[in-house]
C-alpha cells in the first residue's frame, strides 16, 4: 500500500481497482474508496492518451498517404454527383487488385474470357482548400473517406491482353501470350462520376501511368517489394506465370496507345 500511496501517478487504472477490491474483501472501507478515486483519475488519463494516440496515428496515415500520392502529381478532375459538377485539384492514388487479377487470369487460361485486365482501385485526395470543402460537403456523404483521407471513387482498368489465349485442335496445343492493345476503362463505385478536366490533364495522367509501370516512378514500394508495382507485376507475370519479359514491356508500351478521350470526355 505504501507503493500505491507514493507512486499512484505512475500506476495503471486497473492496478488501483485491483488493490481496492482486495482491501474491500478484507473489510476496509476508506482506503478502497480512496483507491477508486485514483482509479477514476487514471482511467480518464488513459482514455485521453488513447484518443491522442488515435488522432496521432490518423494524422501520420494522412501524412504518409499525401507523401506517396505526391509522387503521382496533382490533377484537375471534374466530379459529377447526379448532374452537379465540381472541378478541383486532387492528388490521385491507386493500387493493384491482385485477387481480382487471379480470378481474371484463371478465366483467361480456361478460355472463359478473351481479354485480360490489370484492375486498379482508384482514389483521390484533396489538394486545395476548395477541394477539401467539396469532399467534406459531398464525398464524405456519398463515398466516405478512409482514415488516411483517401476517397475511393472506383476502378480503372488497363488491358493486359486482347486474345492471346489460343487452342490448336490439330496439334492439341494451348498457347498463352499477352497481347496488350492499349485498352482502358473507368468504373464508378458510387453516384460520383469522374474524369480529367481537359486533354492536357488527361495526357499528364496517361504519362504518369506509363512512368509508374515502366519504373520511372517508384510506386507502392516496400521492404518486401523494393521495386514497387513494376517489380510486383513482373514477378507475377514472368516468374510466377511463365510469361516472357518482352510481354510485360509490350504492355507498358501499350499504355501510350490509350485514347485520351476516355480520360477526359463525358
What does the pLDDT average to over 62-67? 91
Q: In the predicted model, is pLDDT for residue 43 greater than 50?
A: yes
DSSP E strand boundaries for 212-252: none
Average pLDDT, stretch 122-130? 96
pLDDT score at 203: 96
CA distance 162 to 117: 9
Q: What does the pLDDT look like over 75-98, one tens digit per residue?
A: 999 999 988 999 999 999 999 989
Q: CB-based burial of residue 242 (10 Å sphere; 0-12 exposed, 13-18 middle, 19+ buried)?
A: exposed
Question: Are the CB atoms for 229 and 252 separated by under 8 Å?
Answer: no
Q: What is the pLDDT of residue 117?
A: 97
In this predicted structure, the answer to whether residue 186 has a pLDDT above a threshold of 70 is yes
Cell, residue 140: 464524405
Q: Tell me what pLDDT residue 41 has.
A: 86
Tally Cβ neighbours within 10 Å of residue 178. Answer: 23
**pLDDT classification of 56: cutoffs 50, 70, 90:** confident
Banded model confidence at residue 4, pLDDT cuts 50, 70, 90:
low
How many other C-beta atoms lie within 10 A of the C-beta of residue 248? 20
Q: Encode 26-43: b = buried (16+ Cβ within 10 Å), e = exposed.
A: eeeeebbebbbebbeebe
Does residue 145 register a pLDDT over 60?
Answer: yes
**First-to-last C-alpha distance (Å) of the chain:** 74
How far apart, in Å, are the Cα atoms of 128 and each of 80, 90, 152? 18, 7, 18
Answer whether residue 170 shows pLDDT above 70.
yes
For residue 128, pLDDT beyond 90: yes
The answer on pLDDT for 8 being more than 80 is no
**pLDDT value for 7:** 47
Return the percentage of the chain with pLDDT > 70, whole number. 96
pTM assigned to the model: 0.81
DSSP secondary structure letter of residue 171: T
Amino acid at each position: 500500500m505504501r507503493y500505491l500511496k507514493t507512486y499512484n501517478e505512475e500506476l495503471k487504472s486497473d492496478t488501483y481497482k485491483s488493490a481496492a477490491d482486495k482491501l474491500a474483501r478484507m473489510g476496509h472501507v476508506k482506503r478502497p474508496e480512496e483507491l477508486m478515486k485514483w482509479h477514476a483519475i487514471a482511467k480518464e488519463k488513459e482514455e485521453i492518451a488513447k484518443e491522442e494516440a488515435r488522432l496521432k496515428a490518423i494524422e501520420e496515415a494522412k501524412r504518409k498517404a499525401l507523401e506517396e500520392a505526391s509522387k503521382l502529381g496533382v490533377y484537375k478532375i471534374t466530379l459529377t454527383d447526379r448532374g452537379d459538377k465540381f472541378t478541383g485539384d486532387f492528388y490521385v492514388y491507386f493500387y493493384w487488385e491482385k485477387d481480382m487479377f487471379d480470378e481474371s487470369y484463371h478465366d483467361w487460361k480456361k478460355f472463359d474470357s478473351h481479354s485480360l485486365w490489370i484492375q486498379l482501385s482508384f482514389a483521390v485526395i484533396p489538394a486545395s482548400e476548395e477541394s477539401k470543402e467539396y469532399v467534406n460537403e459531398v464525398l464524405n456523404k456519398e463515398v466516405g473517406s478512409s482514415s488516411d483521407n483517401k476517397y475511393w471513387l472506383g476502378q480503372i482498368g488497363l488491358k493486359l491482353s486482347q486474345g492471346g489465349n489460343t487452342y490448336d485442335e490439330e496439334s492439341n496445343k494451348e498457347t498463352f501470350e499477352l497481347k496488350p492493345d492499349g485498352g482502358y476503362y473507368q468504373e464508378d463505385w458510387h453516384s460520383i462520376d469522374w474524369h480529367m478536366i481537359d486533354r492536357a490533364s488527361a495526357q499528364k495522367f496517361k504519362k504518369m501511368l506509363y512512368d509508374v509501370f515502366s519504373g520511372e516512378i517508384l510506386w507502392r514500394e516496400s521492404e518486401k517489394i523494393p521495386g514497387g508495382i513494376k517489380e510486383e507485376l513482373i514477378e507475377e507475370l514472368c516468374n510466377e506465370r511463365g510469361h516472357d519479359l518482352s510481354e510485360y514491356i509490350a504492355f507498358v508500351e501499350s499504355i501510350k496507345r490509350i485514347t485520351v478521350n476516355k480520360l477526359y470526355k463525358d
